[in-house]
Structure 1
Amino acid sequence: MDDIPPPLPANPSRFMDQLRASMRSRHLAYRTEKTYCGWIKDFIYFHQKRHPLEMGAIEVDAWLSYLANQRHVAINTQKTALNAVVFLYKHFLHKDLGQLAFTRTNKGRRIPTVFTHEEAMRVLGFMEGDHKLVASLMYGSGLRVMESVRLRVQDVDFAQQCLIIREAKGDKCRRTLLPKALLEPLRIQIDLALSIHQQDLNEGFGKVYLPYALEKKYPKAATSPAWQYIFPAPNRAKDPRSGVIRRHHVGEQQVRRSVARALAKSHIHKKASCHTLRHSFATNLLRAGTDIRNIQELLGHNDINTTMIYTHVIGIHERNVSSPLDR
């Protein structure tokens, strides 16, 4: 349950616990919470554990400049660090930082690694079971690994042949493609998941985790088939927040390790990971002539510039540009 936030004290007194409580009141994703808290701790330790209330724009500028000049972080990494301290001061401490004047990093964003269709299918060919289906959704539907493992029965619309991604990055909801090749495998997987759920019910369990206190609003939802995870974990475990024994979804890290093993077996010598399958979804759509705005919507990007990075991946050969040596 590595994506479930641990419980906080009812009346938190420690600074970081109060900060985490503030983040959860705003429904920040747990991964965002962990990332922001990590950077805020880094900021505090950089200034010899001074309390943030004793610091301000000068100290923030010094830290962000240090990240650029000494740690040579990438642009997006520095932006994330900036977002973390802005949240700290604006939303938690309610203190205006004013105009910041830090050194911006000049380490550009890297072009993402992508697979050809043949490479992607070779990687999937060395996988099996539910992990293969999770990876197939990353390549066939453009899902992030966490979006794949979090899918629930109600998120698959077989009639419309689409997936509804409800717990996406930034707490956004979107629709994306459901490949025809995955219709039958998903039906089989859902039948298996509901069979496991029925067994849990028969043994006195069967309540699945629901976000945002939905269990209080809809008491029967936690045991309904619609809310069950499509990729249930092999074993039940204690929910660290409530102490309830329940079955969570399959672990993100387990899928990552399966993809890493498949990459090794496929002998594809690229710096690749689960996210490469999502990148490959986007680039192959672009190669097929799909409008960049549609790709942005399918991927769930806020900014079109984030999606535009894929035009740099496919740009050269698809424009009929060739080396003079090959003429």
Structure 2
Amino acid sequence: MITISLKPLWHKKTRYIAIEFQDNAEVTSYVKSYPNMKWSDTYKTFYTTFYKGAISDLFNYFRQKKWYVNYSDFNTQTNENKEPKNKHTSVIHKLPPLNDEQITEMNKFKRWLEQKRFSTNTVDTYVEVTSLFIRYINLKNISDISARSIEQFNYDFIFKANKSVSYQNQCISGIKHYFNFKNISVAPFEIKRPDKDKKLPNVLSKSEIKNIIDNTQNLKHKTLLSLVYSAGLRIGEALLLKPNDIDYERRLIHIKAAKGRKDRYTLLSSSIIPLLHTYINHYNPKNLLFEGRNGEPYTQVSARQVLKQALHRASITKYATLHTLRHSFATHLLESGTDIRYIQELLGHNSPKTTMIYTHVSSTNLIDIKNPFDTL
């Protein structure tokens, strides 16, 4: 029987519920469908907001599938389950579910976004955040949507709940698209879109990359991680690759309908070709290059677990995600003298400004600077 484990999770003095389960495509899809469910790259788990009655709601949700739900960690008084001292009292409401009419409306909104040719991730995000807004409207018994109700939602559900800047921008964009879909006119929002934090990407050294790959014994896992790094791929791009997208003769990989619905070519390393041939001969993928059980698409959750396990075996404690491999690819190209314009093309960036961030993490120029401490 499939087991779902509910465990306490504290982050930034806010209480959440972590949902843990053995990797399974059906379970993953069902978990992601739960309202306000998120994936944490930090904790490598799905999680949702804790509120009074949340355990009961989750229990009933998973029992509909007749899965066993283990919530014993919430019955024991462990330090992890206790409220931290000086807990920040953020406002996180228990939002009522959408009614049948609103669910139908959200499905229509989703199809409308798909016809606008937004990416699958963007469509899912806009539908999710708009659903939260509608549920908030239900909670407050607001009959007419106005600029005031949007500002109130922003303050109560985003600002007080300490949501991220990116999440706030997604909410604003999703709600605005919903208004266009419904032909709703409201006064201008008094919500300034906050600027994103100017964070530099994490980068692994070449020796760390080699260590990760050398400590990955599974053939499929080794091929996936090697390809993501050697071609600078987004994980979504890697998982959508087909065997015939690889041009062995020209040493190129054809990335189709990537971010922004753009095609591009990126590098195929000569050193990875023998590994790819061995992998294809062994697994014989039919449709996608990387397939899961019974030919189903390999999931991003599974791919994240592959890297997490590889980092552990390689004894690398530095924070790294699958996207870190892409950042490392770009940085290592820059350090080897590759023109920034070529790196932009390989990564599929619209603007050179996006690619220029790697000049801030490259050690090529910094290593030539004479440290004044050395002259003391």
Give the alignment's TM-score, normalised by structure 1. Answer: 0.74
Aligned to 1:110: 199
3-state SS of 1:176 partner: strand
Aligned to 1:212: none
Aligned to 1:284: 332
Of 275-284 and 249-258, more deviation after overlay is shown by 249-258
Paired with 1:52 and 1:177, the residues of 2 have a C-alpha distance of 54
Render the CA deviation track for 1:122-165: whole Å, top value 9, x for unaligned. 11111131111111111100111121122102210112111111
Paired with 2:368 and 2:197, the residues of 1 have a C-alpha distance of 27
Partner residue of 2:214 out of 118, 121, 125: 125
- Asked if 1:231 corresponds to 2:290, the answer is yes
Opposite residue 332 of structure 2, the aligned amino acid is N
- Asked if 1:259 corresponds to 2:259, the answer is no
- Asked if 1:149 corresponds to 2:239, the answer is yes
Q: 1:193 to 1:267 in 2, by over 3 A?
A: closer
Q: How does 1:203-214 map to 2 (within 5 A)?
A: none
- Asked if 1:45 corresponds to 2:135, the answer is yes
Report how many residues are paired: 280
Report if the CA contact (8 A) 1:72-1:107 is conserved: no
Paired with 1:66 and 1:319, the residues of 2 have a C-alpha distance of 48
Paired with 1:35 and 1:315, the residues of 2 have a C-alpha distance of 36
Paired with 1:286 and 1:263, the residues of 2 have a C-alpha distance of 24
Of 274-283 and 303-312, more deviation after overlay is shown by 303-312
Give the alignment's TM-score, normalised by structure 2. Answer: 0.65
Paired with 2:254 and 2:313, the residues of 1 have a C-alpha distance of 33
- Asked if 1:94 corresponds to 2:183, the answer is yes
Paired with 2:363 and 2:162, the residues of 1 have a C-alpha distance of 28
- Asked if 1:85 corresponds to 2:144, the answer is no
> What's the offset of the Cα at 1:263?
0.7
Q: 1:160 to 1:25 in 2, by over 3 A?
A: same
Paired with 1:136 and 1:130, the residues of 2 have a C-alpha distance of 10
Aligned to 2:322: 274
Of 105-114 and 309-318, more deviation after overlay is shown by 309-318
3-state SS of 1:79 partner: helix
Report if the CA contact (8 A) 1:68-1:104 is conserved: no
Paired with 1:296 and 1:74, the residues of 2 have a C-alpha distance of 28
Q: 1:156 to 1:29 in 2, by over 3 A?
A: same
Q: 1:323 to 1:186 in 2, by over 3 A?
A: same
Of 141-150 and 31-40, more deviation after overlay is shown by 31-40
Opposite residue 216 of structure 2, the aligned amino acid is M
Q: 1:144 to 1:257 in 2, by over 3 A?
A: same
Q: 1:157 to 1:107 in 2, by over 3 A?
A: closer
Paired with 1:281 and 1:258, the residues of 2 have a C-alpha distance of 19
Aligned to 2:69: none
Report if the CA contact (8 A) 1:292-1:307 is conserved: yes
Partner residue of 2:361 out of 313, 316, 320: 313
Report if the CA contact (8 A) 2:335-2:363 is conserved: no
Render the CA deviation track for 1:154-193: whole Å, top value 9, x for unaligned. 2101121111111422332211111111112222333344
Opposite residue 136 of structure 1, the aligned amino acid is S
Report if the CA contact (8 A) 1:46-1:63 is conserved: yes
**Residue segments in structure 1 that go unaligned for 5+ positions in a row:** 7-11, 198-227, 237-246
Larger RCO, structure (CA 8 Å, separation 6 or more):
1
Opposite residue 229 of structure 1, the aligned amino acid is L
Report if the CA contact (8 A) 1:72-1:105 is conserved: no
Paired with 2:193 and 2:303, the residues of 1 have a C-alpha distance of 36
Paired with 2:348 and 2:299, the residues of 1 have a C-alpha distance of 23
Aligned to 1:174: 264
Render the CA deviation track for 1:44-99: whole Å, top value 9, x for unaligned. 33444579993244433444466774344444333323322222222x22345564
> What's the offset of the Cα at 1:42?
2.6
- Aligned-residue identity in percent: 28
- Asked if 1:183 corresponds to 2:273, the answer is yes
Aligned to 2:115: 25
Paired with 1:317 and 1:58, the residues of 2 have a C-alpha distance of 51
Report if the CA contact (8 A) 2:166-2:196 is conserved: no
Opposite residue 252 of structure 2, the aligned amino acid is C
Structure having the higher strand fraction is 2
Paired with 1:162 and 1:152, the residues of 2 have a C-alpha distance of 13
3-state SS of 1:113 partner: coil
Of 153-162 and 313-322, more deviation after overlay is shown by 313-322
Q: 1:27 to 1:102 in 2, by over 3 A?
A: same
Of 63-72 and 15-24, more deviation after overlay is shown by 63-72
Structure having the higher helix fraction is 1
